[in-house]
Amino acid sequence: MSILLKTHLTRNVSRNIPATLYVGSSARYYATQQQQQQQQQQQQQQQHRKLPVDFSAIESKWQTRWRENAKIPKPVDASKPNYYTLSMFPYPSGMLHMGHVRVYAISDTIQRFRKMYGYNVLHPMGWDAFGLPAENAAIERGIHPSEWTTKNIAIMKEQMSKLCIDFDWSKELATCDPEYYQWTQYIFLELYNAGLAYQKEAVVNWDPVDKTVLANEQVDPEGKSWRSGALVERKKLKQWFFKVTEFADDLLKDIDRLDNWPDRVKQMQRNWIGKSTGAEFEFSISSVETKEPIKVFTSRPDTIYGVQYLVLGPEHPLVNKATLPKEQADSVLGFVEDLKKKQNMDEAEENKKGVFTGLYAKNPFTKEDIPVYVAPYVLSDYGTGAVMGVPAHDKRDFEFCKVNNVVDQVRFVVAPAIREVGQPLDHSSPYTAQGILTEASGPYQGMKSGAAGKAILKEAQKMGVGHPATQFRLKDWLLSRQRYWGAPIPVIHCPACKVVPVPKEDLPVHLPLDVEFSGKGQSPLAGREDWVNCQCPKCQGPAKRETDTMDTFVDSSWYFMRFTDPHNKTLPFDPVKASALLPVDIYIGGVEHAILHLLYSRFITKALLKQGAFNEASEKKPGHGEPFNVLLTQGMVHGRTFKDPKTQRFLKPEEVDASDYANPKMISTGETPLISFEKMSKSKYNGVDPVHVVNECGVDATRLHILYKAPPSEVLEWEDSSIIGMQRWLAKVLKMSQSLPTGSAPLLPVMNDMTKDEREMYRVTNQTIKQVTDTLTSNYSFNTAISDLIKLSNHVSSSATTVEPTSPVYQHAVQSLVKMMAPMTPAMSEECWEAATHHTCSSSSVFDESWPTFDAAALEKSELDCIIQINGKTRSSITIPKELLGNTAEIERRVRASDAGKKWISDKPIRKLIVAKKGELINFVL
């Protein structure tokens, strides 16, 4: 049970993680950033002087050309397969951070590669634009959420344009746009009509001072309101839900189909769904006359003989004045009232306290009367909201028993299967594993836990006091929010007809813009009476609109579908178009969305598939309703952080002299500060502004640096000091490209006509093509791809004396190198491509080239490194051309001529020459 409670707690914690990548701002932050920037500028200007390449001029040159070229629409080649690359769309906070740059650098690299590799690629971008921060801005700064959002989108789009990310902006969408939320509302109605959307009472966070509902994010860890500071209360209100639980089994089962998702994410999904099998038992109440027995869910039916009491959750229906015995009622209800005020007790001692209800129930197997308690460790919304207390075999129950003095003697009914003879059982702590049933289990003594559980369950069914049961931890999705900045739930409440869905032809239900924001009292929508009051679509009588809006997770649970057909005016998307592009081939985003966003997207896809929203005939279609094929969860970007070693205080950039990168000093004392890499945050003064870095270092070097520093799923420790290495490499490749002669490209000779050095360069080139292609199609470890490319460029430059730039093999190597770099470093690669192909190539962009293919025959080395043994002892090694392998006389001649040969063989005759391991080992027997 403790495990159960813990998981519930961690779930609540992760629920508090904002759904968006919101980054706030404050004047102070900007000030320190500026100072930091000045320092960085000085540092980088010095570096720039050493570089002969003007990266920013090259970037603007190509950005302009791309813009010009984009004006000429390119025909779509329908014979090519489709490929859908998607990076999670951002919340328009108004500021791009390094995390964004990392995701987009990854998705842009993949999609540019796929285009060259022969695919029709979809790579769209949009805005997860509804949500709380906009509303808070309205309350705090008096700026309308709509205005705030529009402004932020413009700023971020401008920042994105600097990154040379090739998004298809013709497909842009914003979830706060009526053209989008009309279809969010449509999908709500689809689910409503399918019986998958319903209303029921649920607990909300209530601020008793401002008299308003709070989102989880607005309740601080002490359980107080972010605004008023009042202790937040729990209040029941009617809420809208999506029936996610209807798909619980499919959502669980289909995780096994997600071969290209990280195991960690799959496990998180499984845990969240939390399937548990066991039994439901009924305990009749023996002390008073009631017909209703107490039902409990247990995963351990084999422990039924060890049940020594029952515990009800505080919200169990039996916990009320009418059903509780008079003498106890007041104290029990008082106990429950007190609990409501202590929301955040978690594992504290408090949580273990319970109260006796005065009721007794009968254990259907032992026939004993056992006491019934109420305690907060029993969750009201899991199982039946009541548990059978087995102190001997459950840790929580054991502790509860101790704290509340429930029984004199704990009864052990299961014992370890393997135990030393004569060793007494340890009864000082609970035994929670499975084992063999003891004599305390009556007729089941000696059986193993598993078999005993089954037999007990069978007997319970016979007696009519139990049956097998399955429980899911997964809950239905509470989607209504008592907030303004979201899609209005398209429902009308009529006094006569009750809940009436808005007819689809009346969509969208517009979100009125002219409302008042105070953050207090009723939601801004409820204040607009002219909007709230409407006509019932059924009986035409006066009725009222639903004033709740939808959780922003609803918006983001289907945006990837809309991208397949973003301008559709009659449907959320055309089934044929969507089915041709879905599932998304690769989805890239932060691991903070590993649970809810992905689960909700999977649910909506499954629900819509069931509703027939996809085209069965299409080849690709999201079969089984799984929306994302490959999932790439990128790690965080951490910043270099300085702390005062004495006080542990975080140091501002202006307090540290970091001009010598490896040797920073505190300006005030000259001491060396503590250095660590931590999540970038305002309070740690370790944030790095990507726009600034791009301006200073060039976008290509920045992209390379991000891709090179760490594999995508790992933490990236940001250090601008090492970008210089990438800049140098780019400069080197440019120089190499410029060294190629003008004139028409000569044809590659056949391998046999290549010189030995050409042959080796050709081999390294092909080997690199093979490796980089593998990386970009299967494991996405861009860092290894980059190091492979660096190795190729090193090989080419170190062979420059033996293979001239006029050699077709040299040109092939450099051109392949440039093509393979292009997805990662678009502008520089264009520049290199132009230089390398100057007069020879008809196409003007490297992105019009196909991805290089490799020649499998070239992968084999033309030479062999052989270990030379003499009489079985390793003496030296030589390199011989492969074709010499059969020519033993020549091998002997060469070995005899070598230093080792002269020393160990001299003029002795050779009895036998043994060639082993395909020639890698040659043994001379004298």
Interacting residue ranges for ligand ANZ, rule: CB under 6 A: 1, 4, 276, 297-300, 303, 313, 378-379, 382-383, 385, 387-388, 390, 393-394, 471
Contacts of 760 (CB under 8 A, 6+ apart): 799, 861, 862, 863
> Rounded to the nearest whole angstrom, what is the least distance from the CB of residue 275 to ligand ANZ in the complex?
8
303 touches which of ligand ANZ, Zn ion, none (CB within 5 to 8 A by kind)?
Answer: ligand ANZ
- Please choose, from the candidates 274, 275, 276, 265, the residue with its C-alpha nearest in 3D space to the C-alpha of residue 595: 265
536 touches which of ligand ANZ, Zn ion, none (CB within 5 to 8 A by kind)?
Answer: Zn ion
How many Å apart are CA 608 and CA 484, to the nearest integer?
27
Q: Specify the residue, 494 or 790, whose C-beta has the smaller distance to Zn ion.
A: 494
Q: Is 682 in the site for Zn ion (CB under 5 A)?
A: no
> Rounded to the nearest whole angstrom, what is the least distance from the CB of residue 372 to ligand ANZ in the complex?
15
Q: Specify the residue, 202 or 497, whose C-beta has the smaller distance to Zn ion.
A: 497
Q: Specify the residue, 345 or 497, whose C-beta has the smaller distance to Zn ion.
A: 497
The 3-state secondary structure of 17-51 reads CCCCCCCCCCHHHHHHHHHHHHHHHHHHHHHHHHC
494 touches which of ligand ANZ, Zn ion, none (CB within 5 to 8 A by kind)?
Answer: Zn ion
Whether 631 and 262 have beta carbons less than 8 Å apart is answered as: yes
> Rounded to the nearest whole angstrom, what is the least distance from the CB of residue 425 to ligand ANZ in the complex?
15
How many Å apart are CA 73 and CA 581, to the nearest integer?
21
Whether 515 and 464 have beta carbons less than 8 Å apart is answered as: no
Identify which range of 465-473, 497-505, 550-558, 773-781 contacts Zn ion by CB under 5 A: 497-505
Contacts of 300 (CB under 8 A, 6+ apart): 278, 390, 393, 394, 449, 453
Distance of CA 891 to the CA centre of its chain: 58
How many Å apart are CA 883 and CA 885, to the nearest integer?
5
How many Å apart are CA 546 and CA 502, to the nearest integer?
10
Q: Specify the residue, 282 or 546, whose C-beta has the smaller distance to Zn ion.
A: 546
Q: Specify the residue, 496 or 916, whose C-beta has the smaller distance to Zn ion.
A: 496
Q: Specify the residue, 449 or 556, whose C-beta has the smaller distance to ligand ANZ.
A: 449
Measured from the Cβ of residue 209, the count of other Cβ atoms closer than 10 Å reads 13
Q: Is 544 in the site for Zn ion (CB under 5 A)?
A: no
Q: Is 496 in the site for Zn ion (CB under 5 A)?
A: yes
Q: What are the two backbone dihedrals, phi and then psi, of residue 681, each rounded to the nearest 5 degrees?
A: -155, 155
Structure tokens at 780: 């996405």
Q: Specify the residue, 493 or 812, whose C-beta has the smaller distance to Zn ion.
A: 493
Q: Specify the residue, 315 or 626, whose C-beta has the smaller distance to ligand ANZ.
A: 315
| Per-residue binding letters, 518-537, with Zn ion (x by CB under 5 A) | ------------------x-
Whether 114 and 619 have beta carbons less than 8 Å apart is answered as: no
> Rounded to the nearest whole angstrom, what is the least distance from the CB of residue 435 to ligand ANZ in the complex?
11
Q: Is 265 in the site for Zn ion (CB under 5 A)?
A: no
Whether 281 and 298 have beta carbons less than 8 Å apart is answered as: yes
299 touches which of Zn ion, ligand ANZ, none (CB within 5 to 8 A by kind)?
Answer: ligand ANZ
Identify which range of 149-157, 242-250, 495-503, 661-669 contacts Zn ion by CB under 5 A: 495-503
Q: Specify the residue, 539 or 675, whose C-beta has the smaller distance to Zn ion.
A: 539
> Rounded to the nearest whole angstrom, what is the least distance from the CB of residue 296 to ligand ANZ in the complex?
7
- Please choose, from the candidates 856, 608, 582, 826, the residue with its C-alpha nearest in 3D space to the C-alpha of residue 702: 826
276 touches which of Zn ion, ligand ANZ, none (CB within 5 to 8 A by kind)?
Answer: ligand ANZ
Contacts of 748 (CB under 8 A, 6+ apart): 762, 808, 809, 812
How many Å apart are CA 703 and CA 705, to the nearest integer?
5
265 touches which of Zn ion, ligand ANZ, none (CB within 5 to 8 A by kind)?
Answer: none
Q: Specify the residue, 390 or 740, whose C-beta has the smaller distance to ligand ANZ.
A: 390
Go through the chain and tell me how many residues it has: 926
Size of the site for Zn ion (CB under 5 A): 6
Q: Is 494 in the site for Zn ion (CB under 5 A)?
A: yes
> Rounded to the nearest whole angstrom, what is the least distance from the CB of residue 300 to ligand ANZ in the complex?
4
496 touches which of ligand ANZ, Zn ion, none (CB within 5 to 8 A by kind)?
Answer: Zn ion
Of 31, 425, 539, 571, which lies in the binding site for Zn ion, with binding defined by CB under 5 A?
539
Q: What are the two backbone dihedrals, phi and then psi, of residue 249, each rounded to the nearest 5 degrees?
A: -65, -45
- Look at strands 716-717 and 637-643 and give their pairing: parallel
Whether 485 and 129 have beta carbons less than 8 Å apart is answered as: no
> Rounded to the nearest whole angstrom, what is the least distance from the CB of residue 421 to ligand ANZ in the complex?
26
Q: What are the two backbone dihedrals, phi and then psi, of residue 237, each rounded to the nearest 5 degrees?
A: -135, 155
Report the interface residues with Zn ion, using CB under 5 A.
Answer: 494, 496-497, 536, 538-539
